[in-house]
Amino acid sequence: MHTLPAGPRFPALQALKLARDTKRFFLDAVGRYGDPFTLPLPPGDVVVTGDPEGIREIFTADPSLFTPYAVLPLEPVVGRHSVLLLDGAPHRRERKLLTPPFHGDRMRAYGDLMAAITLRKAAELSAGAKFKAQDLTQEISLEVIIEAVFGVRDPARVALFREVIVGYIEAYTPPLMMIEPLRRSFGGLGPWARFQRFSERFHALLAEEIEARRKNGEVRDDILSLLLSVRDEEGRPMSNEEIDDELRTMLIAGHETTAIGMAWALDGIHRSSRIRERLLSEIRELGPAPSPEALVKLPYLSAVCDEALRLHPVVGMVSRKLLAPFTFRGVELPPGAAVMAAIVLVHHNPAVYPDADVFRPERFLERKFTPFEYLPFGGGARRCLGAAFALYEMKIVLGTLLSAHRFQVLSAEPPRVVRRNVTLGPSEGAPLRYLGPVQRAVA
């Protein structure tokens, strides 16, 4: 008989509370039950920790003890070959194949493209206009995926991909994700049928790109082309179906998440004249048109990105389901139970982050945090493969925007955190006003 740590009851009610206000739920539960506590959720009991030592136990444990927890609702949108859904040897193989495009010189090849897309999208803003920061950053992020990941550059085809992808993402609504009986066509008229139609169009577009790339054999630096060239230890390439699934995974895992992080950063920067001026001073030292490689090396810009992801982690927790008994925080947990690293909790732990509710980038210049204290991209054997790519994009987009354009917040009250499917974003998309281009001094 295994005794789990104390915690609340009624799974459906706890799932609702967790979705409504993730941070408040976790803080209240730790205050009442201590750390760790057991969270009953519809898929099964989860033992939750926000303590760095508990998180260390999860991330440094033998990966073979775990399998992904509650990820099956993602299968229709990312595919059964997605690295998010695999475990064991297939997961290790897929991670090894997917790692090279997101690191080193290959990743840095996309810097100029990211900057160009940023300037192109910002040029569409009108001086004095109100807009949602997240709308702008999502447009930029989506274009980066279409051009840098999928390798689509023809403007008409980029527009077609954009139309289909937006429909594809919007069609897979939270009810479809969480309520399996809704995934029926109902004579071609229901929400599932609508998602299926966009899914078929998206598959067809990806299949055309994959086939065209295989035929012409052109050496290109987009991620799709790189995936076509990789081989596993036995010399086997990725199949078309595997590539399709991983491209969709990159879209789902990297589009809205990166955009939300950038939107939070823009809001935080413009709520403090001290932070804004320090950052602008750092950027101005690079001249009127800073290069992407110069921007990513700026220490205060890096700290701003890190602090935005600390204060407002885009994903509030990461979980693992046990395949075997696991001793966690001195308690033996049975197979079938799950463990959760509550990112929101540890990122607001006052013992780790004094003034944890304050946006203060300087903390990342004052000390280095461990992977068990700062984990916006998860950790361990399942840490987000695109973490370096996302941070690279954040720095280039933010640095490029602020080097050329001026903004201000619209309200003294910061945005609330609201749930968007599995992500946590700013209410109303973090509204800003565009003040116009930066005025250069005339020599």
pLDDT for the residue numbered 441: 63
The answer to whether the CB of 342 falls within 8 A of the CB of 50 is yes
pLDDT for the residue numbered 85: 94
Query: Total structural domains in the chain?
Result: 1
How do strand 338-342 and strand 44-49 relate by DSSP bridges? Answer: parallel
pLDDT for the residue numbered 407: 98
DSSP string of 126-177, one letter each residue: -TT-EEEHHHHHHHHHHHHIIIIIS----HHHHHHHHHHHHHHHHHS-HHHH
Domain-embedded: residue 316: yes
Element containing residue 328 per DSSP (H, E): strand 326-328
Q: Which two tokens stand for residue 278?
A: 């320090």
Domain-embedded: residue 21: yes
Element containing residue 105 per DSSP (H, E): helix 104-108
pTM (predicted TM-score): 0.94
CATH of the domain at 54: 1.10.630.10
C-alpha neighbours within 13 Å on the C-beta side of residue 154: 5
Q: How many CB atoms lie within 10 A of CB 95?
A: 15
DSSP string of 368-427, one letter each residue: PPPTTT--TT--GGG--TTHHHHHHHHHHHHHHHHHHEEEEES-SSPPPEEEETTEEEEG
DSSP string of 182-237, one letter each residue: G-S-TTTTSHHHHHHHHHHHHHHHHHHHHHHHHHH-----SHHHHHHH-B-TTSPB
Helix ranges (H only) for 230-298 are: 240-254, 256-269, 273-284, 292-295
Strand partners, 417: 426
Would the CA dihedral through 64, 41, 14, 1 be positive or negative? negative
Which letter does DSSP use for residue 297 in this model? T
The answer to whether the CB of 342 falls within 8 A of the CB of 316 is yes
The backbone region for 203, taken as left when phi is positive above 0, alpha when psi lies in -120 to 50, beta otherwise, is: alpha
Domain-embedded: residue 365: yes
Domain that holds residue 268: 11-151+220-437
Flag residues of the chain having pLDDT under 70: 1-2, 441-443
pLDDT for the residue numbered 101: 82
Domain-embedded: residue 388: yes
Domain-embedded: residue 159: no
Q: How many CB atoms lie within 10 A of CB 168?
A: 22
Which letter does DSSP use for residue 65 in this model? G
Domain-embedded: residue 37: yes
Which letter does DSSP use for residue 318 in this model? E
The answer to whether the CB of 302 falls within 8 A of the CB of 40 is no
Q: Is 384 annotated as a binding residue?
A: yes
* 367 Cβ neighbours under 8 A, 6+ residues apart: none
Q: Which two tokens stand for residue 406?
A: 């001026």
Domain-embedded: residue 171: no
Domain-embedded: residue 203: no
